[in-house]
């Protein structure tokens, strides 16, 4: 199996597995317990916190461990909006945010907040000027660091600067960026940042919400005084320890790995252009994550293509959400103005640490066969309704 | 080290460690991915769901995986309250609920809901009749299955029956009960139930919220269609797989293990009575978890006693919350009418699968020395302010 779906989840690194195994076996206690066993678990937790802080350029005490990107986005957006409620009951999110940010905004709307959406251009980028012209009762703006579907990198520092001038706080979902490109919380100038372990070689089920010193915040989960009072609940010690190891490795390797992935992407895109002159790479001219290619192969519906590649041992994601046989165009591509008939033919190829040149060539070869097969399926009406 | 703090967290079982290790190594994909790698992860997830359902007597599709008890309590209480908001904006919780339920109620209060508290008697039990006489705009009542500090088992089925008659839904935090006594979601007649893996031999960072078929519910975390639309976010596959193994073992062993722990508790309490005629076991006459003893040793402050036991290699929890050197009586004991001077002398001893008769005897011996030392510390004014 050739795994080209690293943006969905990337394999857990062996060093992470090993450390998590040791932790599961040797740290039975609750890190909130005051006895020595508890304090040993606490020490492991705080070591991991330091590694995560280093990876994103934050202070350790700004790091709040959460259960993943989805909780981080919810706790961040809702925690900021509630804390700033007296200033206004309106938040803004970019149109291409992850489902989790849309979900958090949905809950805020349910609670009576107004939600603005920042449009993106055809290149998939948010215009930073949009953050300067929001209604005056807006308190938080959410713009992701890199889009999970297209890989397009957003002008977060510019958005945050404009937002600050307008008196707004910025939340940045850096889930897809961290580990692939350098992330600098301090330099970005955002108030809140979210990262997830399983996108960078750590385990699923753990992430971090970074809250800047002094940034207004109300916890979503209350309990005892866990995580500086920002998140109740017994800490996921083995998961956090694994996250720490993955973050330490990622911080050390991100510059070189980023270059390596960029070369692989160039090789992949050259193959796509050579064999499919009609293919469209979405966000091609924007700055993008070095590992992500989102491309439409006209006439080859993404669900057919995904199945056909899977049968040839290649794992990718559809750029379109497929449910009950109906193919809906991705809201991200729709927001970029990609026409429906092209959007339903989009696939996301995402490479990672295990990807080799040989695999890139194999995927191109499999694509040549699969696009042919998918186009035939589409013509014969095989498969689900479009 | 003799570990008598199993209610805080209990060691991960070797079978769980092994299965989690295999999962970390062999299931890299996201279970939402449609390709074969994704479907392999999905299959592991669904197998675990079946085991958790069996443990608590629920259907698999009533099981929602969450990040632990704290999220389960928040998602359950808030999710139910929001879904029932049109009927009323009031919830009720027992006075002795876990911090997490109090936290969820706090957030609801923050959102404009009214919160009632059900009192408990001197034995630490909620009176089921209280659920029948709540204000008519109350929609949900939360009563835990067994208290985490005293182990006192609550009359949840009776509360739920009275609540149903009054048109209310019941949420039951069964975090401390599951794995120690049988839990029967169907038989309890509650609408929502919460369990946590790390209290029953699984890993930290994973739990389940059981939502009865047809029970009103709004998700706290939205995202894609994860967990039957009840909880967004990539599932914590290794944690959930570990939870499944622990649940399978617990379901098989709970009857015998419960008996074994009951004998150990009797031995422990006989020792306490023999050496400390003035000691008070809180909730002694109520039905209690077979593994939990919460006792006050008059004149021996719990923080002093905890330190002294720790120095002798015995790990326990204070029944009182210690922060910054000040000892505050536990709200649970206060709700039971335990006077302050006794409450600040309470310790929680909680046994588990690794506990032996020999350990029980060792703890009694260590207690004899430690109570003496703690009483001396108290008299000399050593340690923190009371």
Whether residue B276 is found in the same domain as residue B186 = no
Residue A10 contacts B, CB cutoff 8 Å: yes
Q: Residue B186 pLDDT more than 80?
A: yes
B355: containing domain: 255-380
* A110/B233 touch (CB, cutoff 8 Å), yes or no: no
Q: How much is the pLDDT for B32?
A: 92
* A29/B3 touch (CB, cutoff 8 Å), yes or no: yes
- A155: Cβ contacts below 8 Å, ≥ 6 apart: A125, A126, A128
Q: Report chain A residues whose CB lies below 8 A from the CB of B33.
A: 5, 8-9, 315, 317
* A70/B223 touch (CB, cutoff 8 Å), yes or no: yes
Q: Residue B324 pLDDT more than 80?
A: no
Tell whether A1 is covered by a domain: no
Which of B33, B198, B234 is the closest to A5 by Cβ?
B33
Question: For position B134, which CATH number holds?
Answer: 3.40.640.10
Whether residue B22 is found in the same domain as residue B118 = yes
Q: Residue B166 pLDDT more than 70?
A: yes
- Closest chain A residue to B103 measured between Cα atoms? A222
Shortest alpha-carbon distance between residue B284 and chain A (Å): 24
* B225/A34 touch (CB, cutoff 8 Å), yes or no: no
Give residue-wise pLDDT tens across range B8-58: 999 999 999 999 999 999 999 999 999 999 999 999 999 999 999 999 999
Residue A121 contacts B, CB cutoff 8 Å: no
Domain count, chain B: 2
Question: For position B263, which CATH number holds?
Answer: 3.90.1150.10
Shortest alpha-carbon distance between residue A268 and chain B (Å): 21
Q: Residue B151 pLDDT more than 50?
A: yes
Shortest alpha-carbon distance between residue A172 and chain B (Å): 17
Tell whether B4 is covered by a domain: no
Q: How much is the pLDDT for B132?
A: 87
Shortest alpha-carbon distance between residue A221 and chain B (Å): 7
Tell whether B113 is covered by a domain: yes
Tens digit of each residue's pLDDT, chain A (386 residues) = 999 999 999 999 999 999 999 999 999 999 999 999 999 999 999 999 999 999 999 999 999 999 999 999 999 999 999 999 999 999 999 999 999 999 999 999 999 999 999 999 999 999 999 988 999 999 999 999 999 999 999 999 999 999 999 999 999 999 999 999 999 999 999 999 999 999 999 999 999 999 999 999 999 998 777 899 999 999 999 999 999 999 999 999 999 999 999 999 999 999 999 999 999 999 999 999 999 999 999 999 999 999 999 999 999 998 766 655 567 899 999 999 999 999 999 999 999 999 999 999 999 999 999 999 999 998 876 544 43
Whether residue B262 is found in the same domain as residue B222 = no
Whether residue B265 is found in the same domain as residue B241 = no
Which of A33, A218, A235 is the closest to B317 by Cβ?
A33
Tell whether A302 is covered by a domain: yes
Whether residue A119 is found in the same domain as residue A94 = yes
Q: Residue B379 pLDDT more than 90?
A: no
Q: How much is the pLDDT for B224?
A: 75
**Boundary residue ending a domain (A195, A221, A250):** A250
Tell whether B142 is covered by a domain: yes
Q: How confident is the model at residue B319 (pLDDT cuts 50, 70, 90)?
A: confident
Whether residue B18 is found in the same domain as residue B93 = yes
User: Which residues in chain A (122-181) have CB-CB distances under 8 A to chain B?
Assistant: none
* B203/A10 touch (CB, cutoff 8 Å), yes or no: no
Which of B5, B32, B221 is the closest to A29 by Cβ?
B5
Q: Report chain B residues whose CB lies below 8 A from the CB of A98.
A: 223
Residue A111 contacts B, CB cutoff 8 Å: yes
Residue A86 contacts B, CB cutoff 8 Å: no
Tell whether B54 is covered by a domain: yes
Whether residue B50 is found in the same domain as residue B192 = yes
Residue A38 contacts B, CB cutoff 8 Å: yes
Residue B205 contacts A, CB cutoff 8 Å: yes
* B30/A8 touch (CB, cutoff 8 Å), yes or no: yes
Whether residue B283 is found in the same domain as residue B346 = yes
Q: How much is the pLDDT for A383?
A: 47
Give residue-wise pLDDT tens across range B53-109: 999 999 999 999 999 999 999 999 999 999 999 999 999 999 999 999 999 999 999
Whether residue B128 is found in the same domain as residue B57 = yes
Residue B238 contacts A, CB cutoff 8 Å: yes
Tell whether B36 is covered by a domain: yes
Q: Report chain A residues whose CB lies below 8 A from the CB of B99.
A: 222-224, 232
Q: How much is the pLDDT for B383?
A: 47
Shortest alpha-carbon distance between residue B35 and chain A (Å): 6
Whether residue A180 is found in the same domain as residue A266 = no
Active site amino acids of B: 322
Tell whether B161 is covered by a domain: yes
Whether residue A224 is found in the same domain as residue A152 = yes
Q: Report chain A residues whose CB lies below 8 A from the CB of B233.
A: 67-71, 100
Whether residue B232 is found in the same domain as residue B264 = no
**Boundary residue ending a domain (B250, B271, B300):** B250
**Boundary residue ending a domain (B250, B280, B297):** B250
């Amino acid at each position: 199996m050739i795994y080209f779906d690293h943006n969905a989840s990337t394999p857990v690194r062996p060093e992470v597995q090993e450390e998590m195994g040791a932790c599961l076996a040797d740290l039975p206690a609750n890190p909130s317990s005051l006895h020595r066993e508890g304090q040993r678990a606490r020490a492991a937790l705080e070591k991991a916190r330091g590694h995560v802080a280093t990876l994103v350029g934050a202070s350790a005490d700004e790091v709040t461990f959460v259960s993943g990107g989805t909780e981080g986005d919810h706790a961040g957006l809702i925690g900021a909006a509630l804390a700033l409620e007296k200033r206004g009951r309106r938040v803004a999110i970019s149109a291409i945010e992850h489902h989790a940010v849309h979900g958090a905004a949905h809950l805020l709307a349910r609670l009576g907040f107004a939600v603005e959406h920042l449009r993106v251009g055809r290149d998939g980028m948010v215009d930073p000027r949009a953050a300067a012209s929001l209604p005056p009762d807006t308190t938080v703006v959410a713009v992701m660091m890199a889009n999970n579907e297209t890989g397009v990198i957003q002008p977060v520092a510019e958005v945050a600067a404009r937002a600050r001038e307008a008196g707004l706080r910025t939340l940045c979902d850096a889930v897809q960026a961290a580990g692939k490109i350098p992330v600098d919380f301090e330099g970005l100038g955002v108030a809140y940042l979210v990262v997830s372990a399983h996108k960078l070689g750590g385990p699923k089920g753990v992430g971090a919400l970074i809250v800047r010193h002094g940034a207004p915040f109300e916890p979503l989960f209350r309990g005892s005084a866990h995580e500086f009072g920002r998140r109740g609940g017994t800490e996921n010690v083995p998961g956090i320890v694994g996250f720490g190891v993955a973050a330490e490795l990622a911080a050390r390797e991100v510059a070189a790995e980023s270059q390596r992935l960029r070369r692989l992407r160039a090789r992949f895109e050259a193959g796509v252009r050579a064999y499919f002159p009609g293919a469209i790479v979405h966000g091609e001219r924007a700055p993008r994550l070095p590992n992500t290619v989102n491309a439409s192969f006209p006439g080859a519906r993404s669900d057919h293509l995904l199945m056909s590649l899977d049968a040839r041992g290649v794992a990718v994601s559809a750029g379109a959400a497929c449910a009950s046989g109906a193919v809906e165009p991705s809201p991200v591509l729709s927001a970029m103005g990609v026409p429906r008939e092209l959007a339903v033919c989009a696939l996301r190829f995402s490479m990672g640490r295990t990807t080799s040149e040989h695999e890139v060539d194999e995927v191109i070869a499999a694509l040549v066969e699969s696009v042919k097969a998918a186009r035939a399926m589409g013509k014969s009406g095989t498969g689900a309704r479009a």
